[in-house]
């Protein structure tokens, strides 16, 4: 076997979703290691074993699902989650420099350039002269940008409500502190160069 060898090693990040298979020709050799999870006839396909006990695993899956929902919701505005976060920070902090805004979101300033370019080309963000420092730009939302944000915030709230409907307002509220605590695991910080 192994006609393989391929080209690049290529790592895949995890990704996961449930799927059922109505197959018949299953369990070719269910011997070897096997002691975890219960049955898996036609429910959720293969046995994920201890993965179901790894918070990081389901956290990742949940994050993907949430993004998928948000992406779909913002699709008609051609806005992605990361873009929404950038516009929101600019909206909340008008006049700050690219570096500051990028840092606030953990985005490398080098990758932030193209983002701002796109926003500027779409007439959503304005790069103004930073008074007192000719090196930096002061970022502002244009009127069009502000108008878009009003719509986006509404969409985001509906999106949030969809989540609340799933887990209940209490759990929704509780999650924040827990997730915030987890987010602080890596001692935070980890920005630009």
CA Rg value for the chain: 22
CA distance between the termini of the chain? 45
Tell which positions 69-108 bind a second copy, by CB under 8 A: 69-70, 80-83, 85-86, 88-89, 91-97, 100-101, 103-107
Report how far residue 46's alpha carbon sits from residue 52's, in angstroms, rounded to the nearest whole number: 12
- Residue 67 Cα to chain centre, angstroms: 5
Cα 108 to Cα 42, 115, 154, 159: the distances in Å are 45, 11, 28, 28
Binder to DNA among 48, 61, 109, 146 (CB under 7 A)?
109
Site pattern 170..189 for a second copy (x: CB under 8 A): -xx-xxx-xxxxxxxxx-xx
Q: Which residues pair with 140 in a beta bridge?
A: 126
CB of 48 to a second copy, least distance (A): 6
Per CB under 8 A, 109 contacts a second copy: no
Tell which positions 28-67 bind DNA, by CB under 7 A: none
Binder to a second copy among 41, 67, 144, 154 (CB under 8 A)?
67
Per CB under 8 A, 193 contacts a second copy: no
Cα 26 to Cα 10, 35, 37, 71: the distances in Å are 29, 18, 17, 36
Per CB under 8 A, 138 contacts a second copy: yes
Tokens of 87: 């516009």
Binding site for DNA (CB under 7 A): 2-15, 25, 80, 82, 97-100, 107-113, 116-117, 127, 130, 132-137, 190, 193
């Amino acid at each position: 076997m192994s006609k393989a060898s391929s080209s690049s090693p290529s790592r895949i990040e995890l990704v996961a979703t449930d799927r059922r298979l109505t197959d018949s020709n299953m369990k070719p050799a269910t011997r070897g290691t096997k002691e975890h999870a219960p049955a898996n006839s036609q429910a959720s396909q293969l046995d994920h074993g201890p993965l179901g006990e790894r918070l990081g695993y389901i956290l990742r899956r949940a994050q993907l699902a949430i993004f998928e929902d948000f992406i779909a919701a913002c699709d008609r505005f051609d806005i992605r989650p990361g873009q929404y976060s950038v516009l929101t920070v600019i909206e909340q902090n008008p006049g700050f420099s690219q570096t500051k805004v990028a840092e606030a979101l953990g985005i490398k300033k080098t990758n932030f350039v193209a983002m701002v370019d796109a926003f500027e080309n779409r007439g959503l963000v304005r790069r103004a002269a930073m008074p007192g420092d000719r090196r930096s730009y002061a970022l502002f939302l244009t009127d069009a940008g502000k108008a878009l944000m009003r719509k986006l915030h509404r969409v985001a709230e509906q999106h949030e409500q969809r989540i609340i409907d799933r887990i209940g307002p209490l759990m929704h509220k509780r999650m924040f502190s827990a997730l915030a605590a987890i987010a602080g695991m890596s001692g935070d910080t980890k920005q630009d160069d």
